[in-house]
Structure 1
């Protein structure tokens, strides 16, 4: 009988779906600059659609987490690892929201936003953030576009670091400490 405390199937599904979509989005974002011009618009639009999808799934994940307490960490974990795990999880949650929001803000400040409507996966119309899109002064709007783009990139770097800590911690517990860590978040 498996005594490993596990996350609910809903939490596991949301965890892996968000992780997969964020990885795909990192690849799309990094690849866009090296693609032929004819592919760039489709790649960026797909990146935006996935980002908004991640934002929605992250909201569901956060609501699920508030209503379903996650399983406790094993008692064998030292207190410093428990604290670090908590910090990394909070950072991951913040970044899961900050990346799509900063991307949406960046897109809303794009000079072509008014003439290029956004549609999720080319189907569902999606609004820009009005107060950003409607900035009248072109210089201010371009400054915002640059600022929000920098935020988006730096949140991406922070995500890489937090993801690395999360992954390394899970692997350490699974393979070095011999705890059933991966089973907690598996199907």
Structure 2
């Protein structure tokens, strides 16, 4: 006996409820999250590594940063065409507004961090003699306008963009911490899981 169409629709809805993100959004979210966490770890350990490890680690850091930028663009395009599920109405309005603000700031940083790093690298005095490649495979251009500035100005820009990149890193530490703390609060204290919305 063939199932009625409305039964099939109900079954499909139950297997992929409206309160969940799409699978594409989930994949992009976790790839970006892993990229950010790995890059934070690489930045924190780079100063303690042997000298011959530093350059490969920094190059990997750059490659991951550019990859996160590309994934961030895809994530933003996907979100623009696929409305994310709202937080449950049972959450206090201040929590929903706070979560919204943190999400917006995280989106800004997903772009600002790699862009400031890219500009910082483009102003590096040795950029012309050390071509940039993504994961030692794909050639990637630097920002020519920055790289071709006079040496004195380029050194100033290198310091400036480096300071911006470092400052943004501290901001992202705080925001990622708040993002994780909020998810854990809902999971273990409120017993209203939001983590499951982003899990397959």
Q: TM-score, normalised by structure 2?
A: 0.90
State the match for 2:6 in structure 1.
none
Q: Which has the higher contact order (CA 8 A, sep 6+)?
A: 1
Contact 1:4 1:183 in 2 (8 A): no
What pairs up with 1:84-99 in 2 under 5 angstroms? 84-99=98-113
Larger radius of gyration: 2
What pairs up with 1:98-137 in 2 under 5 angstroms? 98-136=112-150
Q: TM-score, normalised by structure 1?
A: 0.96
Contact 2:18 2:85 in 1 (8 A): no
Among 114, 123, 142, the residue aligned to 2:155: 142
State the match for 1:35 in structure 2.
49
State the match for 1:153 in structure 2.
166
| Alpha-carbon displacement from aligned partner over 1:73-100 (angstroms, at most 9, x marks no partner) | 1010111111101100000000011110
Instruction: Report the alpha carbon displacement of residue 174 of structure 1 after superposing the two structures with TM.
Output: 1.3
Report how many aligned residue pairs link the two structures: 186
- Runs of 4+ more than 3 Å apart: 1-4
Residue ranges of structure 1 left out of the alignment (5+ in a row): none
Question: Is 1:11 matched with 2:25?
Answer: yes
Instruction: Report the alpha carbon displacement of residue 182 of structure 1 after superposing the two structures with TM.
Output: 1.0
State the match for 1:172 in structure 2.
185
Instruction: Report the alpha carbon displacement of residue 4 of structure 1 after superposing the two structures with TM.
Output: 6.8
Alignment root-mean-square deviation, CA: 1.1
